[in-house]
Structure 1
Amino acid sequence: MTGYIALLMFAVVCLTLMLGYPVAFTLAGTALAFAAGGIIAGVFDPSFLSALPGRLFGTISNTTLIAVPLFVLMGVVLEKSKIAEELLSSMSRVFGRTRGGLGVSVIVVGMLLAASTGIVGATVVTMGLLSLPSMLRGGYSPSLAAGTICATGTLGQIIPPSIALVLLGDVLSNAYQQAQLNLNIFNPKTVSVGDLFVAALIPGLLLVALYTAYVLLYAWLKPSSAPPSDEAPLPLAQVLSGLLPPLLLIAVVLGSILAGAATPTEAAGVGAVGALILAYSKSQMNLERLREVALDTMKVTSMVFMILIGAAVFSLVFRGFGGEELIHSFFNQLPGGVFAATLVVMLLIFLLGFILDFIEITFVVVPIVGPILLAMGLDPIWLGIMIAINLQTSFLTPPFGFALFYLRGVAPDSLATSAIYRGVIPFIIIQLLVLTALWIWPPLATWLPAQLNH
C-alpha cells in the first residue's frame, strides 16, 4: 500500500515542477513533506532519514562530479570569448558556396560547440544568435534553419565530453553496483564516465552524418530553400587559424580520456585551463569577462548540485515508502520480460523529457529503474547511451521540447513557432532511427569501449 504513496509523491513532484517551482527545492521539499506525513500516520520508518547525511556527504565529495564545474567553465569561456562566432564565420565561408553549405557549417560548428560546452541550452542559444540571422538572410527555409539549429544544439547530450554523460555515468555506476549486490555479487564492477564517452562517439558521429545528409538532400530537392552563399572563400591560413585552436583543445581533452592518460575529471581541468589560455591568446579575456565566466560557472554548478541533493532526498524517501519494490514487482510481472521492461522505461523517460530537464530525470528516474533493468542483464554502457539519445530526442519533440523554447527565446518574431515545430520533425525521425539502430545493434555503443579496454 505504501508503494502507491511513493508513486503519488512522484506525481506531485511532476505537477509542482510544471507549475514552475524550483527543481531542487521541489524534490527535497515534497519528499520531506511526504516523509513527515508518513511518520505521523505510522507508514514511514524515520530511520530511513538517518542515511541522509551520509548520502549528501557522498554526493558532495564525489570526485567524478568535480568534472561538472570544470567542463562548464571550459564551455562558458569558449562561448564568452567569441571563439564560437569565429568558428561559424570560418566554416560558413568554407562550405557556404555550395547548396546547403551554410546548414552543414552550422552542424559542424554545433558539433564542436557540443563537444566543448556539453550544455544543450547554451549551444542552442549561441547557434540561434549567431547562425539563424545568417541563414534567414541567405534565403534558407525558416523551418530548415530552425530545425537544423535545434537538432544540432541537442548534440550536447551525446557528443563527449558531455555533462549529461558525466552525471549519467555516476548514477549508472551506483545503479550497477546496487544491481550486482541485489544479485549477491560482491566486489561489484563499476561504470566509468570514460567508457560512456567512448561509447557515445559512434552514435554521436552517426547523428552528425545523418543530419548533414538530410540537409544536403533537402538542398538538392529544394534548391531555393538552401541556396549557396555569394561570400568569397577565405584563405586557407585564415580558416585554419579559426578552426585549429578549438579543435586541438577538444582533441587533447577527448584524446587524453580515450588513451587512458587522464580521467574525465583531470581532462576537464586541462580543458578549462586550455580554454582560458586560448581566450587570452585571442585577447578575448580580461578581468571583467573572467568575472562573468566565474559567475556563470558558479550558477550552473550550484544548480546541478542543488538538484543532486534534492534528488538524493527524494530517492531515499521514495525507497522508504517501498516505491522501488513496487516498480521491481511491476517489471517482473510484465509480459515480455526485459524487452518490455526496457521499452516501458524508454517510453517513460521520453514522456518525462517533455516536463523535466535531463538532470532531474538522471537523478530521480534512473536511480529507481536503473538497478532493476541492470539486474535483468542489460549492459550498463548500452543502457546509458540509449537513455542519453532518448533524452536528446525529447528535447526536440513539440510542443514541450526544451530546445524549441531556447530557440524561440532568441529567434525574431518573424520566425513562426509553427516553422520551428515543422523544422524539427525530420530530425526527430533521424534520432528515433538511430535509437532503433542502437536497440537492434548494441555493438554500435559497446564495441569501441570493449576494444579500448582490451
Structure 2
Amino acid sequence: MLTVEHMPPLMFGGIVVFLLIGFPVAFSLAAVGLFFGFLSVHLGFFPEVYLGNLPLRVFGILSNDLLLAIPFFTLMGAILERSGLAEDLLEGTGQLFGGVPGGLAYAVVIVGAILGAITGTVAASVIAMGMISLPIMIRYGYDMRIATGVIAASGTITQIIPPSLVLIILADQLGRSVGDMYAGAIGPAILQVLLFLAFVTVVALIAPHRVPPLPKEARKQRGWPLIRRVLWGMVPSIILIFIVVGTIFMGLATPTEAGAMGAVGAAILAALNRRLTFALINQALQNTMRITSMVIFILIGCTVFSLVFQGVDGSRWIEHLLSHVPGGQTGFLIFVNVFVFFLAFFLDFFEIAFIIVPLLAPVADKLGIDLIWFGVLLCVNMQTSFMHPPFGFALFYLRGIAPKEVLTRDIYLGAVPWVGLQLVLVAIVIVWPGSVTYWLDKRANVDPSTIRIELPKTDSGENDAPALSFK
C-alpha cells in the first residue's frame, strides 16, 4: 500500500527514468508532476484544491520581472556575436600573443572570457572561437588535444563570468539578488581565467613543441597598428560590459533594466562597426526567442513537479536525507558537489538549476551556509557539465564545426585536463570562501547617508510600512 512517504522517492525515480529514456526535460517534469499529483489526490495525500495553486504559480513565473533579464542579455550577446566581434578580437589578440609559445592559446582564453561576458552562451563562444582559431592552430602545428581543449574550456567561462544567465537563474531559485550573485562570481571568474592561463604557461615551458609560436611570416601586423586594432576590438565591448554589470553592481539599475541597456548598446556597437543589418537583427531575435522559450518551458515543468513534490513532503524527505550526512557542513558540501558533478554528465545547467537547486537550498540554509556563496560554488561546479566526455555540449559544438582531420577521441581526451582545472576551482572556492565574499563585502560597503527610503503617512500622521524594499 502506497503511503505519502513513498511518493518523493517515486517521483524522483520517475523523472530519472524519463530523462534516461530521452524525453524533453520540461515535458518530463510536467508529466511526472501531474501524474503523481492526480494520484496523490486520489489516495487522499492532499485535497484537490491544492492543485488549484498551479495556475497561480505559472502566472507568477510569467509575470516575474527578473526573468525578463534573460531575453535582454541573450539578445545583447546574439547581436554582438553575429556582428563579427569575435573574429576581430581573436585575430587581433592572436597576432599580439602569437610570437610566444602558447600565444594562440593565451589569446583563446582571454577572448573566451571577454566573449563569455558579451554573449552569455557557451555555444556562441565555442563555435565562434572554434571556427576562427582551430584551423590556425592546426595549420601551425598545435597539439590537437591542447587546441580543442583550450577552445572548449574557454567557452565554458561564460557560465561563471557576469552577466551570466546561470547566475540570474540561481539568484531567482535561491531568493537572492542578482547583484550579489554577480559580485560573488567575480573572484572565481578571475581565478578560472588565471588557472587556464597558468596551465597554458606550464605546457609552453615543459613541451613548447605542443604549442609553437606563430612564424614571422604569419604575423602580418606589429607595433602600434596591431595594438590599436586589438584595442578597437576590445575596449568598446569591455566598456559595455562594465556599464551593464557595473550598474547592477552599484544598485543603479535592476538586471532587467541593465539587460535592456545592454541590448541597445550592442546594437549601437554593431552599427559603429557597420554591421547592423536587418538579417543580423532577425537572427539575433530568433536565437533569443529559442533560448527564452526553452528556459520558460523548463521552469513551468519544474513548477508543476515542485508543487506536487512539496505537497507530499518532498522537501522534508530531502532535508532528512541530506542533514544526516556525516561531517555537518563539510560533509554536506562534499556530497552535494560530487552529486552535482556526476549529475552534470546527464543534465545541463538549466535543468540542474531548476530541479536540484531548490531542493538543496533549504538544507544549506538550515546548516548555516551562505546561499550566495553556495550558489556561486554550484555555478562553478556546473561548468563541468559542458566539458564532461562523452555528453559535454561544448564538445558537441566543437565536434560540429571542427575539420574532419580532428578526431573525436582527441576532443574528448583534450577536455580531461580542463575538467580537472574546473574541479581545482571548486576546491579553491570551498577552502577559500573569501574568493566569493571579498567582492560581496565591497558591494556592501555603501554609505548609509546616501540611501533614503520614503515612508508613507497614515491618517494619523505616523509612518507606515516602507513603500519599497530593497535586497
The interval holding the TM-score normalised by the smaller chain is: over 0.9
CA distance in 2, matches of 1:417, 1:15: 28
Asked whether the 8 Å contact 1:14–1:355 carries over to 2, the reply is no
Identify which of 430, 434, 437 aligns with 1:446: 437
Q: Within the alignment, does 1:223 sit opposite 2:208 as a pair?
A: yes
Q: Within the alignment, does 1:233 sit opposite 2:235 as a pair?
A: no
Structure 1 unaligned segments of length 5 or more: list them: 174-190
Which amino acid in structure 1 is aligned with residue 107 of structure 2?
Answer: S
Quote the residue 2:103 is aligned against: 101
CA distance in 1, matches of 2:47, 2:404: 54
Mean CA deviation greater in 14-23 or 223-232: 14-23
CA distance in 2, matches of 1:172, 1:107: 30
- Aligned pairs for 1:375-394 (under 5 A) are 375-394=366-385
Quote the residue 2:33 is aligned against: 31
Distance 1:58-1:158 versus aligned 2 partners, 3 A rule: same
Identify which of 66, 69, 91 aligns with 1:67: 69
Q: Normalised by the size of structure 2, how large is the TM-score?
A: 0.89
Q: Within the alignment, does 1:324 sit opposite 2:326 as a pair?
A: no
Which amino acid in structure 1 is aligned with residue 205 of structure 2?
Answer: W
Asked whether the 8 Å contact 2:79–2:267 carries over to 1, the reply is yes
CA distance in 2, matches of 1:11, 1:369: 17
CA distance in 2, matches of 1:275, 1:417: 35
Quote the residue 2:233 is aligned against: 242
Q: Give the share of equivalent positions with the same residue, in percent.
A: 43
How far 1:238 sits from its partner (Å)? 2.2
Partner SS state of residue 131, structure 1: helix
How far 1:239 sits from its partner (Å)? 2.3
Identify which of 91, 115, 122 aligns with 2:117: 115
Q: Deviations over 1:282-311 (max 9, x none)?
A: 121211221111111111111111111111
Asked whether the 8 Å contact 2:347–2:385 carries over to 1, the reply is no
Mean CA deviation greater in 202-211 or 219-228: 219-228
Which amino acid in structure 2 is aligned with residue 286 of structure 1?
Answer: T
- Aligned pairs for 1:123-272 (under 5 A) are 123-173=125-175, 191-230=176-215, 231-234=219-222, 235=225, 236-272=227-263
Which amino acid in structure 2 is aligned with residue 201 of structure 1?
Answer: I
Q: Deviations over 1:357-414 (max 9, x none)?
A: 1111111111111111112100011101110001012321222222222222222232
Structure 2 unaligned segments of length 5 or more: list them: 446-471
Which amino acid in structure 2 is aligned with residue 118 of structure 1?
Answer: G
Distance 1:15-1:403 versus aligned 2 partners, 3 A rule: farther
Asked whether the 8 Å contact 1:165–1:388 carries over to 2, the reply is yes
Q: Deviations over 1:294-329 (max 9, x none)?
A: 111111111111111111111111112222111111
Identify which of 319, 330, 345 aligns with 2:336: 345
Q: Within the alignment, does 1:417 sit opposite 2:408 as a pair?
A: yes
Asked whether the 8 Å contact 1:382–1:446 carries over to 2, the reply is yes
CA distance in 2, matches of 1:31, 1:125: 36
Quote the residue 1:431 is aligned against: 422
Distance 1:409-1:16 versus aligned 2 partners, 3 A rule: farther
Number of residue pairs matched?
Answer: 437
Q: Deviations over 1:246-287 (max 9, x none)?
A: 122112112222233222222111111000111122121211
Quote the residue 2:359 is aligned against: 368
How far 1:24 sits from its partner (Å)? 1.3
Which amino acid in structure 1 is aligned with residue 120 of structure 2?
Answer: G
Which has the higher Rg, Structure 1 or Structure 2?
2
Distance 1:132-1:336 versus aligned 2 partners, 3 A rule: same
Q: Deviations over 1:31-73 (max 9, x none)?
A: 1122223333444543331221221122111111111000000
CA distance in 2, matches of 1:39, 1:349: 32
Asked whether the 8 Å contact 2:349–2:385 carries over to 1, the reply is no
CA distance in 2, matches of 1:42, 1:369: 27
Asked whether the 8 Å contact 2:171–2:181 carries over to 1, the reply is yes
Partner SS state of residue 276, structure 2: coil
Greater relative contact order, per chain length (Cα 8 Å cut-off, separation 6+): 1
Q: Within the alignment, does 1:9 sit opposite 2:4 as a pair?
A: no
Partner SS state of residue 356, structure 2: helix
How far 1:5 sits from its partner (Å)? 2.4
